[in-house]
Structure 1
């Protein structure tokens, strides 16, 4: 599909033209922000001013920069970079940029197409060895799919780099014409369109520039933040609704019902091709599709259907004749080809084919495009057209648009949610997903949805399945999924204890976190901060760029999924965690950790490390309240971490799609906690529960309340829980204990560890006695226990030795 020719009329406003540029006959340099400059080279001198899939906004405020002639060309200087260019064809020697600010000792100079490899790197590459990875320091962005990946895949570049610079090549991307339709760029050979991001270690600012140029992440519908149920299985209506009943009976909340491809006819005459593509409900399985979807809606579930559009519309489809009429052709029985380059077809694709199905109750579509980036026109990627079209079509029908599809390239964040593909059920597959998810923030792609629990092949491992669900609950989107194998379903009750209980508790926790998640939904849209971000967004130490299996989860939490099997002796799994400076408290164990250092954290199957920053707040739906995602203002339990001053703005949406803000503040130095309600508080919320973590144990501590009354105080498991009733306006809690810090009872934690450890009883008794007598000093003695006989026999047994893993788990408890 060719674009409509650009016209100098109001349909192409001047606001789409860059406001500051440096231009020669064949080049154009456009500083867009203090961190970003656009670099174009055109053999014919024709430059592109239309928006592209990546760059939809170039009409940004004029950048404060300096331009000067040099002996070899031109120099552009901003607060973040110094760019030198010789005004010739882009070359390694003629185009470079130095990142300012001392990002590194000698590597923070970008050169066009520079080769940073050493002979050793090239040798390792020839031998198939991993080597040093990306030498330009780029921390990666996203990939089109994780289909059949058993472990890492190569990521397309993001805009974040340890060395402070990154380049997005926009030379071949599609453009948007005057009507906002995607079409092939048809650039001349040799044309280059590069965006150099040179923000140093200001990663947050760099990504903000990405959003300024490429558009913000949209607000998601609230229901998208809850639990999704998905399975490739030949359900019928009765089986699906019975399954929903079982989830409700087990206390597992859901907010999205996914119906995979068997909703439509799949067993078709082979003369039509495969049954992979379909648009006609299978009424043997779903006799009344409208009633079925209405019942799911009644239960508070949004509905999405899977569609593989590649084979077009064939004569057996109910929509075949209406599609023929819309296209002005006779219903001859010949198939209607799927063709993204045919605008008439695409109009009918949405306005006839999908609209008819949406009238039966479908809320949004799972677009399962697996047929590559090819169409009848070079440069027209069907995935891009589908993503934009389905999202925009959804946004025209719903208050907030939504689609569910694979990543198509930079700019894809404007069309959430992302489907990462068919994951293999292996530890290697799980181990890659946390770092893959966090890296998405580097290209603004903040709403990944993975096959939680895996989809294809692999093996049964209840620990693996449980760890995957735990990660999934602390992912952007929580979607359980599995294949049609009768043995691989992800219903929690299929698994043994304690994994079953852990899965259910975590899936309930996901819905308890909805107030926090929806506040972060607004934060992502308004402030450009993805829900999941790498830790190096906050901490620029070298370690932060190495510990990639952890991430920031919103503004308050750091999460470290456990992606390795449990140790057979300790009976726990571990995560190696680098903590930024400050104090961090685990919301489950209550144990606090000092930042600016690494920790190996051990957890049984009931939790993973989820750490709340000092002075942080985590609002949760209170225990006993409804976990229906439609409830906008449930009663709250707010977790509060001691150790520093902190402030959190709880943004909540109202029934009329407005937002209100409640401000939570902790002054640890003054022993004061304040809840400031909005002027026109629509929540009707009167009662609050505050759960204080990381305080010094002080039985009988006194609390004074202004603007409310204290209904009760409970102290257990290293937590202090306050029940409060507001009398209106601002509520202030004062207590000397709010200025303290402390740890849960150490000996009890050691006893719990030893009780589950699969090792010798005499060893356990000896370690317990040493800890009871010596506290943290016992660690030195523990390492030598068992080297000599411990029991009644004059023999040394392996089970009487403290393994390194057991010593490590004890160190976590005793060392701080």
Structure 2
């Protein structure tokens, strides 16, 4: 390859001072907890980047090593490695001890469990599936075996690695799971900063839209006040019904040997690059209309069959490929040919990007080696480049190509192995519509962080099969709001619809509310996006990241932290017919927590498990003590995201905290040169509290010069006193108290400093009106009236201790137990039941 077009900026050579070489083995201490271990029969070692590992240029590590009795001993301060010099790696010749908790020991070849990683796809999965390994383990160590990957040559193109070698990375971070994952990201390539539009709502549906019907749908969304930022066009954008007389014999053989798709014309139509003019008579005007509506567009790709004679760019592609256009021969997708891939991008994709396509959806569901693409039934040589997984190559090249002109890397494809975190966004595939699928997804998403894969996008609501269940759609959309990417999608079918107005009236209102809230959450999520890129902390984290020594943190696999401030316990089962409430199991870590919507105060002295219950319009989202969450204001019939002049700030009591809002222009990479602004919010929480909005820093041309800050002190006591200053001058505060929230607005230049002084005998809400909530719950429940009276009388008899009042409800049936537990939640918000 004559140019560096497909060359990633890699730094694969480790510092010499971090390396220890003895005969046929080389050990590289990348950090005190991360060691690369290589064995080569030919005494030749690999310094090129691999498909997984791009960066080995870690800082110098202060470690010691010596040779004793024929053994090499390396002491990093965290690990002690012992290797019998000259021997092949085995359980008796290579082992590592952790010096700190959990003080475990690993021997080469040991079989051990990790906390999981992720999977290539959830295609056809109904419930759970097997996950690959990550770099986190309760044993305190994990491995990445890089011995069988291909490597990147000087030009950036793939090459064979040195044969007969072992190349293994030992992660011995103990319980520092965040440290293990962040160093894994440094090793394999950090997740890029996503463009702003990726973090709004996505509309996607496999459906035969026309140009007019799609625009009409977007107008309906606007009219219904349901914002979207991305419009995905599935494969019907291109020609799909290909008459058999236009299909060459080699294509038929290709289908026979490889694709095995459904019969009929469509079997030849999965791959396509020519707009269907019957559906989209003026696709350029269509793309422009979407852009004018502040919508970014992605198109579906199934490139396996290459370019065929009926495609609009066939003649140009044939000439560039050295094929006589008159021959009509298919131009294969040749992923091992750099020139062919240049043509693939230059001739097929770039013109459409110029016309208005923002990014591509690689819907690769096919084989995992080079020869499969060509449908020749050829046996793959495992010692050649033929073993290359097309999915990895397509992900790698597409991300490089889409970012060629300073755009942020943005693509949409399935997971292709360790290191895929540098290729966002993940497409998890065609899941079944079922409660089991919903239940698995929170765990699946959180666990993917263990392998540095932070930006999964699921088919929210499920893709195919199943039955219509409005409650399931609602709970799935609520989860989507608190997912990395919120993309509604479903398979082809006139009844596979997820537009809110196609649901029952109550559900329609609820789903629309939550879709609006996703756009309001943008300032918070976008700041977490920057945190992921800069600090290498995933948006979604399992509970054991923050509480690795608490066994309970491992027992709530569906619960997760959503950024730095919020904790989510998804509802993944149907509501009870008795009380119409959904249930979730939650583990409350030690301290104060607050329901994000209602401000209800929860307290746990040592950490405790409990069941929480919410109606269809609500969801178990908890703000930590001192949480600060910035939101956009809601603008009716508007889908704006970035740099809102009217910010809402939700501030919760209980602890000191700070949050630094990150803002930039949203789409290009000029933030790398300082084109961004930050605003730091601080809560100093003592006997009284002071909330400070510091003056904005950085490139202030990117944000409004003045802002209205709608401050919501949620979870605070009704009787607190509030004063405020702007640039040390007192300003009047007119506050209203609703829903355990003091709300008031302060306006100032972004260069000003705002201080809010909060005083009172007690700052945290006292959870008033609990009995009223219990009454309303019982009133709506489908129980005999006499039972309601018995339950309510027991609950409200304050002469008795808590456990007597709970016991007095005396559950009489399994169905009734649901509402008894729901009432118990309200009775034990801050006081645990004790006997």
TM-score (norm 1): 0.91
Task: Return the offset for 1:455.
Answer: 0.4
TM alignment of 1:6-405, pairs within 5 A: 15=13, 19-71=17-69, 73-87=71-85, 88-103=87-102, 108-115=104-111, 136-181=112-157, 183-188=158-163, 190-271=164-245, 272=247, 273=251, 274-331=268-325, 332-376=327-371, 377-405=385-413
Task: Return the offset for 1:17.
Answer: 6.2
Equivalent in 543, 549, 557 of residue 552 of structure 2: 543
The 1:164–1:339 alpha-carbon spacing in structure 2 relative to 1, beyond 3 Å, is: same
- Please say if 1:610 is aligned against 2:621: yes
Task: Return the offset for 1:613.
Answer: 0.9
CA displacement, residues 587-635 of structure 1 (integer Å, 9 cap, x when unaligned): 1121222242222111111122111111111111124477533542331
Asked if the contact 1:516–1:650 (Cα under 8 Å) also holds between the matched residues in 2, the reply is yes
Asked if the contact 2:654–2:764 (Cα under 8 Å) also holds between the matched residues in 1, the reply is yes
Asked if the contact 1:710–1:722 (Cα under 8 Å) also holds between the matched residues in 2, the reply is no
3-state SS of 2:721 partner: coil
Equivalent in 622, 626, 639 of residue 633 of structure 2: 622
- Please say if 1:672 is aligned against 2:690: yes
C-alpha separation between the residues in 1 aligned to 2:558 and 2:694? 36
Task: Return the offset for 1:778.
Answer: 5.8
Task: Return the offset for 1:771.
Answer: 3.1
Task: Return the offset for 1:161.
Answer: 1.1
3-state SS of 1:344 partner: helix
C-alpha separation between the residues in 2 aligned to 1:418 and 1:322? 32
Query: What 5-or-longer segments of structure 1 have no aligned partner?
Result: 5-10, 116-135, 788-797
C-alpha separation between the residues in 2 aligned to 1:231 and 1:13? 41
1:685 alignment partner in structure 2:
706
C-alpha separation between the residues in 2 aligned to 1:279 and 1:398? 25
The 1:17–1:171 alpha-carbon spacing in structure 2 relative to 1, beyond 3 Å, is: farther
Asked if the contact 1:651–1:659 (Cα under 8 Å) also holds between the matched residues in 2, the reply is yes
Query: What 5-or-longer segments of structure 2 have no aligned partner?
Result: 252-267, 372-384, 831-835
C-alpha separation between the residues in 2 aligned to 1:420 and 1:212? 24
- Please say if 1:718 is aligned against 2:740: yes
The 1:86–1:424 alpha-carbon spacing in structure 2 relative to 1, beyond 3 Å, is: same
C-alpha separation between the residues in 2 aligned to 1:163 and 1:629? 46
3-state SS of 1:150 partner: coil
Task: Return the offset for 1:93.
Answer: 2.0
Task: Return the offset for 1:18.
Answer: 5.4
Asked if the contact 1:654–1:660 (Cα under 8 Å) also holds between the matched residues in 2, the reply is no
C-alpha separation between the residues in 1 aligned to 2:230 and 2:42? 52
CA displacement, residues 427-486 of structure 1 (integer Å, 9 cap, x when unaligned): 111111101101111111111100000001111111111110000110000000011111
TM-score (norm 2): 0.89
C-alpha separation between the residues in 2 aligned to 1:429 and 1:576? 17
2:380 alignment partner in structure 1:
none
Asked if the contact 1:626–1:634 (Cα under 8 Å) also holds between the matched residues in 2, the reply is no
C-alpha separation between the residues in 2 aligned to 1:725 and 1:353? 50
Number of residue-to-residue matches in the alignment: 773
Asked if the contact 2:794–2:808 (Cα under 8 Å) also holds between the matched residues in 1, the reply is no
Task: Return the offset for 1:47.
Answer: 1.2
3-state SS of 1:359 partner: helix
C-alpha separation between the residues in 2 aligned to 1:102 and 1:520? 30
* Segment of structure 1 superposing worse, 358-367 or 747-756: 747-756
Asked if the contact 1:713–1:720 (Cα under 8 Å) also holds between the matched residues in 2, the reply is yes
The 1:242–1:654 alpha-carbon spacing in structure 2 relative to 1, beyond 3 Å, is: closer
3-state SS of 1:493 partner: helix
Task: Return the offset for 1:780.
Answer: 2.9
Aligned-residue CA RMSD in angstroms? 2.3
TM alignment of 1:476-495, pairs within 5 A: 476-495=484-503
Asked if the contact 2:633–2:644 (Cα under 8 Å) also holds between the matched residues in 1, the reply is no
TM alignment of 1:626-705, pairs within 5 A: 627-654=638-665, 657=671, 658-669=675-686, 670-679=688-697, 681=700, 682-698=703-719, 701-705=721-725
2:422 alignment partner in structure 1:
414
C-alpha separation between the residues in 2 aligned to 1:489 and 1:465? 10
3-state SS of 1:457 partner: coil
3-state SS of 1:455 partner: coil
Equivalent in 551, 560, 563 of residue 572 of structure 2: 563
